[in-house]
């Protein structure tokens, strides 16, 4: 499959993703057996993963989406995009951040810092994919689907230049 200038090849099938999502949901059901967590999927990439994961959650739960505003603010570094969707209703809540992929961990660091400043009771992270960089940096992720190498992936919510989120399976970029 080709998107713009890049060739992609199938990486993780729909069946493998589905099995992993059920397994992650079981771990979360066990961990939160006597609690009522709030899922916080990070848009846009986590929308498909979050929808599938939350269908398997059996404890009472809430869902609230967050997103990084697309403008870059006053900085040229691109690191200070503001986060929208967080509010005081998360005070004393057990929050589960739902990510599609953790790469450098910068996105998560920012979300976790903001959540803690709102007085949450606990914050854990579930991610479908975790790249090597995140493992080397010891970014704390409680529930991880697949540990992958540092390669560019697409599909199942993840995009390349806005395209490719619609696919049921994951693809990876073929190196030239
Ligand atoms: P981090 O802040 O470097 O951990 O990056 C996390 C965000 O970058 C993810 O939520 C994705 O939106 C995006 N991202 C990182 N790697 C990939 C990739 O391989 N494909 C598509 N998006 C990615």
The pLDDT confidence band at residue 70, using thresholds 50, 70 and 90, is low
The string of pLDDT tens digits covering residues 17-64 is 999 999 999 999 999 999 999 999 999 999 999 999 999 999 999 999
Nearest alpha carbon to residue 87 among 54, 42, 120: 120
Question: Nearest residue CA, atom 3 of ligand 1?
Answer: 104
Pocket probe mutation, ligand 1, options 43, 103, 147, 169, max atoms within 8 Å of Cβ? 103
Pocket probe mutation, ligand 1, options 101, 149, 171, max atoms within 8 Å of Cβ? 101
Residue 151 sits at φ, ψ, to 5 deg, of: -135, 160
* 164 pLDDT more than 90: yes
Helix orientation angle between 47-55 and 14-31, rounded to the nearest 10 degrees: 60
Total Cβ atoms within 10 A of residue 166: 10
CB 155 within 8 A of CB 165: yes
SS3 153: strand
Average pLDDT over residues 142-153: 95
């Amino acid at each position: 499959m080709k998107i713009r200038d890049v060739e992609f090849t199938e990486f993780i099938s729909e069946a493998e993703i589905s099995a992993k999502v059920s397994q992650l949901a079981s771990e979360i059901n066990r961990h939160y057996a006597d609690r009522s967590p709030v899922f916080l999927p990070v848009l846009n990439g986590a929308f498909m993963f979050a929808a599938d994961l939350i269908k398997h959650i059996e404890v009472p739960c809430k869902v609230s989406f967050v997103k990084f505003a697309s403008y870059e603010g006053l900085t040229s570094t691109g690191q200070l995009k503001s986060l929208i969707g967080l509010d005081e209703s998360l005070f004393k809540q057990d929050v589960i951040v739902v990510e599609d992929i953790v790469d450098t961990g910068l996105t998560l660091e920012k979300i976790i810092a903001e959540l803690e400043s709102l007085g949450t009771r606990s914050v854990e992270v579930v991610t479908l994919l975790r790249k090597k960089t995140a493992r080397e940096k010891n970014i704390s992720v409680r529930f991880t689907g697949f540990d992958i190498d540092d390669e560019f992936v697409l599909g199942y919510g993840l995009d390349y230049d806005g395209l490719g989120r619609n696919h049921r399976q994951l693809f990876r970029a073929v190196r030239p």
